[in-house]
Amino acid sequence: MSSILVKNEARLGLKLVAPAVGIIGLLVIYPILFNVYLSFFDVQLNGSKTFVGLDNYTDLLGNPRYYHSIGVSVIYLIGTVVGTTVLGLAASILMNQEFRFRNLARGLILLPYFAPVISVVFGWQFIFDPVNGIYNHVVVDVLHLTDTRENLIGNPDSALFVVILFDIWKHFPIAYLLFLAKLQSVPKDLYEAAAIDGQNAWGRFWHVTLPELRFVIATVVLLRIIWNLNRFEDVYLLAPNVETLPIFTYYQAFAGIVDQGGAAAISVIQLLVLVGLIWLYVRKVLKW
């Protein structure tokens, strides 16, 4: 009796997930497989393909621009992941205190996350505009920190840090939101017990807050790594001269000398690295 029920239930389950599996297969698995396939061909814009074996990969691994973009991506990833996590944590702890207008402040913090990328990008470009921007006005004319006006976004080296700052500002609210939700569920008596056990505010943060937040922090870091390794629009719109991996891939595939086979090879490597990273992370840090 019960085994029949179990079987029926399993069959129903399969039927229920089938549409989702179909859609994922069509929209995710098929492009991935096709991408792997493409990476072994020299692809022309008219669609004609010539099999080139591993040539795309060897070309890529001999291309200094590729290594440069890996370096940029690593800096971008570390800066944004650390930045959003730390800022999100600080904001969530602050917003977990009692004060007047707390609910208003809690809501306002989310604004950067809601704002459309394209509009805030223009705002940021204007802030750092070398002639009219408020940044140069404050640094040069008001504070007299330096004599020369800098084009921070025009210079790829400094633009990388503007892009990192922008991403932190735009995306820390999601980290903040997840941390705050968890903070509100930490039992108050744990803090009281830690205080009784001789821990001051710092000790209570270290021994109660951080361990309680551990899995949320790990999840936020994981999500941020996945999102930002593939992040395109924020970087491209704000400073197209910052060549992170997705931007480099885009230039390979669609700009100048179009090399779609080469671009496919980049994304195959990126996919493998990402899958490997996530696997390690999930096993070692999240311990699922």
Partner 1 sequence: MSSVILRNVNKSYGNLPIVKNLNLEVKDGEFVVLVGPSGCGKSTTLRMVAGLEDITQGDIQIGQRAINDLPPHKRNIAMVFQNYALYPHMSVRENIVFGLKKSGADAETIKQKLADVSEMLKLDDYLDRKPADLSGGQRQRVAMGRALARDADVYLFDEPLSNLDAKLRHHMRSEIARIQHQYNMTAIYVTHDQIEAMTLGDRVVVMRDGIVEQVGTPMDIYLQPTNTFVATFIGSPAMNLFEATIDGDDLVFDQYRIPASKIANVDLHDLGSHDTVLVGIRPDFFEDSALSSPSDNLFEFNDIQVDLVENLGFDKEIMFKLGGEDAKARLDLRSHVKRQEHISLSVDLNRVLLFDTSPQGMLINAGEV
With the C-alpha atoms ordered 175, 176, 177, 183, is the resulting torsion angle positive or negative? positive
Burial class of 189 by CB neighbour count within 10 A (0 to 12, 13 to 18, 19+) = exposed
Select 193 or 222, whichever has its Cβ closest to partner 1: 193
Q: How far apart are CA 74 and CA 66, in angstroms?
A: 12
Select 97 or 132, whichever has its Cβ closest to partner 1: 97
Cα distances (angstroms) measured from residue 19 to each of 6, 10, 23, 28:
21, 15, 6, 14
In the complex, the smallest distance separating the C-beta of residue 196 from partner 1, rounded to whole angstroms, is: 5
Site of interaction with partner 1 (CB under 8 A) = 187, 189-190, 192-200, 203, 207-208, 211-212, 214
One-letter amino acid at 13 equals G
In the complex, the smallest distance separating the C-beta of residue 104 from partner 1, rounded to whole angstroms, is: 23
Q: Select from 74, 73, 93 the least CA-distant residue to 217.
A: 93
Select 103 or 185, whichever has its Cβ closest to partner 1: 185
Rg over alpha carbons for the chain, rounded to the nearest Å, is 24
Select 9 or 197, whichever has its Cβ closest to partner 1: 197
In the complex, the smallest distance separating the C-beta of residue 58 from partner 1, rounded to whole angstroms, is: 49
Residue-wise burial string across 101-132, b where 16 or more C-beta atoms lie within 10 A, e elsewhere: eeeeebeebeeeeeeeeeebbeebbebbbeee
Do 263 and 253 meet the contact criterion of CB atoms below 8 Å apart? yes
Q: Which two structure tokens, joined as six digits, stand for 188?
A: 């108050």
Select 274 or 285, whichever has its Cβ closest to partner 1: 285
Q: How far apart are CA 238 and CA 2, in angstroms?
A: 60
In the complex, the smallest distance separating the C-beta of residue 288 from partner 1, rounded to whole angstroms, is: 17
Select 186 or 223, whichever has its Cβ closest to partner 1: 186
Select 123 or 187, whichever has its Cβ closest to partner 1: 187
In the complex, the smallest distance separating the C-beta of residue 287 from partner 1, rounded to whole angstroms, is: 12
Select 190 or 278, whichever has its Cβ closest to partner 1: 190
In the complex, the smallest distance separating the C-beta of residue 61 from partner 1, rounded to whole angstroms, is: 44
Q: Which two structure tokens, joined as six digits, stand for 185?
A: 């569920």
Q: Which two structure tokens, joined as six digits, stand for 174?
A: 């999601």
In the complex, the smallest distance separating the C-beta of residue 190 from partner 1, rounded to whole angstroms, is: 5
In the complex, the smallest distance separating the C-beta of residue 174 from partner 1, rounded to whole angstroms, is: 25
Q: How far apart are CA 217 and CA 24, in angstroms?
A: 28
- Size (the chain), residues: 288
Q: Select from 216, 221, 284 the least CA-distant residue to 77.
A: 221
